[in-house]
Amino acid sequence: MWTASLPGHPTLLLLPTVHLLAHEDPRIDATLAELAGNVRAIVLEGPVSIARDQLPLIERYGRYPASDNLTNHVKSMTPAALAQCARDSDWNIVKFLQLKMWLAAGSLDAHRWRVADISTARAGKDRGATVWPGIDMRLQALAQKNRVPLIYLQTLDDALKLMDAMPQEAQEAYLSAACAALHGFPPGYASIEVFQRAWTDADTATLERLVTTRAAGESEGLFESTEYIMAAGTRAFSASIERDGYFYGKGPILVAVGAGHFFGPDSLIDRLKQAGYTITPAQHPAIVSRYLPKTAP
């Protein structure tokens, strides 16, 4: 975790996150609980769950009109292959083909990663989960439990616009890879376990390598789609930090966004430096938390 300071502004605690975990680790919850209990506010990329009344907004951005469908846009997969992808993920074929490429790919990811409900899983009632909630979800739950102000850097509308603006070639590569991943991951794929271990060990060198290096066997288009999401998100997050008035209150404020936004050219760290912030070197969150007041100032 980095810290960022600027005269007249609260201290920002900058925490890279991983969005999913391979298994439970009590050290993670203990560290997050200490951080969340000693900050004035918690800032996340955006809401980690989608309310039912927000579904029409997703459909507005993520579906083709009735006169159009995926087969008119995807060049690297036949209609039969797209239909098989829908079957493999338990989608109704007609409904699946109405999804735009980025939303179809995202829905496949959601199917592949069944995220545990922590309360039922810990009680031994959820046996079908494949992954556990990541850092963002845990921080949101802590903020709500402890009544710590929760701030989002991006609205759902903004996030959907960002995804819908992804270059078509990158969207197609994302969809093709998501369909292929239903049958196993390609060589060189970095598992969620690897990301979790790097996060727990505060191994920034490994995190940087994982998020900035094109994996063996990864297509150029898929790598481009990830780079697009990281770059566009970083621009949006840094602009929100620099612009919004709630950052002029008292601190410290915990800012937790995906690890990919902290590395590579034009990273969140680089952008905050350009905005005048003084950045301290990265430290393990458990070390930083020892220097926090026991009650937020």
Q: Report pLDDT for 103.
A: 96
Q: State mean pLDDT over 6-28.
A: 91
When the pLDDT of each residue in the chain is averaged and rounded to a whole number, the result is: 87
The band of 295, judged by pLDDT with boundaries at 50, 70 and 90, is very low
Q: State mean pLDDT over 82-106.
A: 95
Cα–Cα distance measured from residue 113 to residue 110, given in angstroms and rounded to the nearest whole number? 5
DSSP assignment letter at 33? H
The band of 50, judged by pLDDT with boundaries at 50, 70 and 90, is confident
- Which residues are registered as beta bridge partners of 4? 12, 279
Q: Report pLDDT for 296.
A: 40
**Does position 186 have pLDDT exceeding 80, yes or no?**
no
Q: Report pLDDT for 247.
A: 67
Provide the token pair at 141.
Answer: 């739950």
**Which range, of 46-50, 68-72, 80-84, 290-294, averages the lowest pLDDT?**
290-294
Contact partners, residue 90, CB within 8 Å, separation at least 6: 111
Q: Which amino acid is at 90?
A: D
Count CA atoms within 13 Å of residue 231 on its CB side.
Answer: 13
- Which residues are registered as beta bridge partners of 70? none
**Does position 287 have pLDDT exceeding 50, yes or no?**
yes
Q: How far is CA 53 from the centre of its chain?
A: 22
The band of 102, judged by pLDDT with boundaries at 50, 70 and 90, is very high
Provide the token pair at 24.
Answer: 């439970």
**Does position 232 have pLDDT exceeding 80, yes or no?**
yes
3-state secondary structure of 254: strand
**Which range, of 2-16, 26-40, 48-62, 282-296, averages the lowest pLDDT?**
282-296
Closest CA to 25 of 201, 187, 152, 204: 201
Closest CA to 252 of 3, 46, 10: 10
Kindly list the distances between the CA atom of residue 254 and the CA atoms of 153, 160, 165, in Å, as whole numbers in the listed order.
12, 25, 29
Q: CA torsion 128→132→137→141, rounded to 10°? A: 80
Q: How far is CA 275 from the centre of its chain?
A: 24
Confirm if 6 and 278 have CB atoms less than 8 A apart: yes
**Does position 229 have pLDDT exceeding 70, yes or no?**
yes
DSSP assignment letter at 282? P
**Does position 251 have pLDDT exceeding 90, yes or no?**
no
**Does position 241 have pLDDT exceeding 50, yes or no?**
yes
Q: Report pLDDT for 121.
A: 52
**Does position 253 have pLDDT exceeding 70, yes or no?**
yes
Q: Report pLDDT for 87.
A: 95
Q: Where are the beta strands (DSSP E) in the chain?
A: 2-5, 12-17, 20-21, 41-44, 132-133, 150-152, 253-258, 278-279
pLDDT digits (tens, 9 = 90+) for 192-211: 899 999 999 989 999 999 99
Confirm if 104 and 69 have CB atoms less than 8 A apart: no
**Which range, of 29-33, 112-116, 117-121, 154-158, averages the lowest pLDDT?**
117-121
Q: Report pLDDT for 242.
A: 84
Q: Report pLDDT for 297.
A: 38
Cα–Cα distance measured from residue 13 to residue 282, given in angstroms and rounded to the nearest whole number? 10
